[in-house]
Amino acid sequence: MKKSVKKVALVSLALISTGLTSSAFAQQKTQIEFWTWYLSPKFDNFIKGVIADFEKQNPNITVKWLDKQDTIERDFQATIALGQAPDVVNLWNDSTAAAVQNNLLVPITDLTPLSTLNRLYYSNVLNIFKHDSKFYGYPWYGYVDQGVMMYNSELLQKAGVSISRIRTLDDLLNASKTIKDKTGAYGWLPPVSDPNGASFLAYFYLDGLPITNASGQAVFNSPTHAALLQKYVDLMKGDYIPQDLLRKEAFQVTNELYSQGKVAFMVGGPQSLNRVRDSNKDIYSKTKITSAPLGKAKVQTGGAFSLVIPRASKHQKEAALFALFMTNNVNQVKFANVVPIVPTTKAAKNDPSFKTTSQDPIEIATARVAGTGGLINPGFASPKNTDVVYKNFNDNIQAAFLGRKTAQQALNDAVTFWNANAK
């Protein structure tokens, strides 16, 4: 007993002499590494501000922030292989699914109670990051593909098109043909083959057509599916939508041409208007906002970005604490007031900062989409071998638009490849 007491005393003296008291241990800091995707330099002030707030509330944790761009997925896998994994990573729907398929992520319910996640976030957004009954991503900022419709009121007036008569996607396509015939400007430029994802699948979902069956097998090659694809192919043949949509993202083409007065409609989030406001104030002043037309199923499509925790993270507990903080309602509302993202937190819907009486197009559109987190829905689950399957799908869609395959043959080939490779 005396020996034990003596031993404890000696250890205590040793600790005091080297300054390693229990309070000193408490002061040791843990550094976590946080990766974002394409958020710097534009949003440096916002990100750095949230990190500063987090470090103030958690003085034992520091955050090292790196913004990755087109190499994020390759760098992510490389650092894991080198034993240098980051602790919190910003991914999107499909890249989160791919990381889960490669067993790179820890289920966030291992770190945060499901009841907490359900209280904070919309269930439809949480489910985007659900795979095999487990959740892998803290929902961060989201978007809806339809959102609002922004339009050049002068072009519609010249074409004799009444905005009040555009309620469905078919109405929008018909109005677009009228505008092209009467003014030479395009109407709406639908995404048909954007490089990220499989954008044309969304039109099947919007019209209530199935993508997969209960067994997960692709079934988007019925005659009704083919007829819908053919409708858009015919629009390109008639130059009612440009072939540039096969080479560039529709968002990019639309922004460029709308700012030049050569496109009448933009459908989606109000972030599209930032470039218009900066590059052509006359067009911006003629821009009006209304509800986006929907397909036959009366649903919207959209997606969300996540914060994930790698299995290889050495500081998973601290990483989860930071991911929860970055994605909480306060910080998502702040972000939405910097750039018009759609918050994925339930409480954002009623935030007073989104109420506006302004006549400014961006403020009106921002207020309309801010509360639409409950509508975010990709419409279908990401298949396994996502990148390979989506590339084949887009190749077949492009073949139909370029006349190399019939719409039916393109969809038959895409379904065959999907069912052989999405396993």
> Residue 377's closest CA among 226, 231, 201, 254?
201
Q: How far is CA 52 from the centre of its chain?
A: 25
Distance spanning both ends of the chain, measured CA to CA: 65
Domain ranges of the chain: 30-144+302-377, 148-300+381-420
Average the pLDDT over 353-361 and give the result: 87
Q: Which residues of 119-135 are buried (b: 16+ CB within 10 A; e: fewer)?
A: ebbbebbbbbbbbeeeb
**pLDDT 10s digits, 123-167:** 999 999 999 899 999 999 998 888 899 999 999 999 999 999 999
136 φ/ψ angles, rounded to the nearest 5 degrees? -125, -5
Average the pLDDT over 96-121 and give the result: 95
More confidently predicted of 188 and 5 = 188
Tokens of 387: 């990148």
Q: How far is CA 64 from CA 35, 46, 68, 324, in A?
A: 9, 15, 13, 17
pLDDT of the residue at 195: 76
Block residue for tokens 């040793």:
14
Assign 11 a pLDDT band (cuts: 50, 70, 90): very low
Does residue 5 register a pLDDT over 90? no
pLDDT of the residue at 27: 63
Average the pLDDT over 386-400 and give the result: 93
Considering the segment(s) 148-300+381-420 as one domain, its CATH architecture is: 3-Layer(aba) Sandwich (3.40)
Q: Is 138 helix (H, G, I), strand (E, B) or coil?
A: strand
The average confidence (pLDDT) of the chain is 91
Q: Is 160 helix (H, G, I), strand (E, B) or coil?
A: coil
Quote the CA–CA distance of 128 and 406 in Å, as a whole number.
33
Assign 43 a pLDDT band (cuts: 50, 70, 90): very high
Please, what CATH class does the domain formed by 30-144+302-377 belong to? alpha beta
Does residue 18 register a pLDDT over 70? no
pLDDT of the residue at 55: 98
pLDDT of the residue at 391: 92
Pinpoint the alpha helices (H) of 82-222: 93-101, 114-120, 123-126, 153-159, 169-183, 201-206
Assign 266 a pLDDT band (cuts: 50, 70, 90): very high
Q: Which residues of 45-81 are buried (b: 16+ CB within 10 A; e: fewer)?
A: ebbeebbeebeeebeebebebebbeeebbebbeebbe
Same fold for the pair 30-144+302-377 and 148-300+381-420: yes
* Conformational region of residue 126, where left means phi above 0, alpha means psi within -120 to 50, and beta covers everything else: alpha
More confidently predicted of 327 and 272 = 327
